[in-house]
Structure 1
C-alpha cells in the first residue's frame, strides 16, 4: 500500500541476542502490521550502528553469555536513551537476556555482578539449576501466554512491579518460588518466553502494534482488506494449534 502509515521498529542486537529464534518476534510484528495496512520499517540495530531517527517499538531477544559480553558496552552507551523511551511509553518486548539487562543487576553464581539499566524494577541471581521447558502462564491482559523457558538466572521483582503472568508449577517462571513470570513496566514487557513468543501469542503482538500506532498517530486504524483479514484469521488459527501442541508437551 503506497499510502500506508509507517511504524518504525528497532530489532535490538539481532546478531548476538537471537537465541531460540527470537527474531521470529520481529517477523510476526512486521507481518501483522502489514496485514492491517501499515508499513513496517525494521531497523536492525547492532553495536556501533547508527540509532534510527524515529522509534515506535523495540524488540530484543535472548543470548548466551558470549552474546551479552559483545553488546554490553554499546548497551550501556544507549542506556539513558532506552530509559527515556521506556518512560515515554514506547512499547518494548525484551526476552530472557535482555529482560535481565533491563533490570537492576545480574549476580552470577560466582558472586560477580553485572549492572542492568534499571528500566524494570527487578534483579537476577544466577543458580546452578536451570528452568527449562514449555510453560503456560496466566495473564490478566493476554489470557494464557505460552512459550519456552530455558534459564538458570532467577529473577525477583521489586514490590509494586507487575509480572507478565503467573504460573501454576513450582520451580518455573521468574525464580521458581513465587509463581511469577516476566514483568510489565509502562509499555515494556520482559519475559523468559522463547519459542518465538509472538507467533504463539498474537494478543501480545497486537498490543505492541496497537500501542505503537496510538502513540505515533493518536489512534489505531485497521486498514486491511478482506484478503488481509482472512490471512490474519489463518495465522490466528495456526497460533492456536501451536499453543495447543506446546501446552501438551513439557519439553
Structure 2
C-alpha cells in the first residue's frame, strides 16, 4: 500500500501572494518523486487544525489586510501548532507566515499585530522603505547556499539562542543589520525568500520532504514496537 504525505496549507485561500504557492508545488512534486501519495488540505477561517493530522505544514504570506484577519483566527490553533512544532513536525513559513510565528509584527500602518508567540522573535516595520532585491545566504547547519528574492517591510529580530536559516552573503535578510535571514528551529524553516524559495533551492525542498518521511517512518516503527 502506497504511503501518503499529508500537507496542511494554512490559510492558503488568504495568504498566497508573491507566487509562494510554488513552494507547495515543489513539496508535492518531491513527495511523489519519493514514492508517496500527496493529500493537501487548506485549513482556513473557522477550520480545525490537529497536530496529528499532518506531516508538513506550509504557512505563506499575504497583504496586511489578510494577515490581520489570519492573526486573529489563528490564535485558537496556538496550542495545536506548539505541539506540532515541539514534536518535530515539518513546517515551512514564508514572510507573513514567518512573522506570525513570533511575538508580534508591526504593520506598515504602525499597528502592532499579535503573533502566536511560539518562537522567540519579533518584527518591527520600516518607515517608507522595503528590503527589495536578490539575496544569497549560507545555511551553516546543512552546508548549503540558498538564492532568492526578498521584498518585505518588516525587520525581524531573533532572540536568545534562536538560529537563523542562514547568514546573509548578499542582500538584507531579516533586518539589514545582523546578517541573519529566516529561522531554523527543530523542523521549522522560515524565510523572507520569495521566488519562490523552494523553486530556486531544490535541495531544501527535498530536505523538507525527507524530514517528513523520517517522521512518518518513526511513527510507524513505534506503532510496530507497541503492537
TM-score (norm 1): 0.81
Correspondence 1:38 to 2:50:
no
8 A contact 1:181–1:191 mirrored in 2: yes
Counterpart Cα distance in 1 of 2:143 and 2:37: 25
- Secondary structure of the residue aligned to 1:167 is strand
Q: Partner residue of 2:175? A: 175
Q: Structure 1 stretches of 5 or more lacking a match? A: 220-251
- Contact 2:94/2:191 (CA < 8 Å) preserved in 1? yes
Q: How does 1:29-178 map to 2 (within 5 A)?
A: 29-51=27-49, 54-108=53-107, 111-128=110-127, 129-140=129-140, 141=142, 143-169=144-170, 172-178=172-178
> Which of 104-113 and 60-69 deviates more?
104-113
Change (3 A) 1:79 1:13: same
Instruction: Please state how far the C-alpha of 1:200 moved relative to its aligned partner.
Output: 1.1
Contact 1:120 1:183 in 2 (8 A): no
Calculate the aligned-residue CA RMSD, in Å: 1.8
The match for 1:236 is: none
Cα distance 1:81–1:121, how it changes in 2: closer, same or farther (>3 A)?
same
What whole-Å deviation, never above 9, does each CA across 1:99-128 have from its counterpart, x for those lacking one?
A: 001011113466532221122211100112
CA contact (8 A) 1:169 1:179 kept: no
Q: Which runs of 5+ in 2 are unaligned?
A: 220-227
| Aligned position for 1:199 | 199
1:142 and 1:204 in contact (8 A); partners too? no
**Could you tell me which of 11, 14, 19 is aligned with 1:13?**
11
Number of matched pairs: 217
Whole-Å separation in 2 of the counterparts to 1:107 and 1:71: 15
- Please say if residues 90 and 188 of structure 2, whose CA atoms lie closer than 8 Å, have aligned partners that are also in contact: yes
CA contact (8 A) 1:11 1:58 kept: yes
Distance 2:111 2:29 in 1: 41
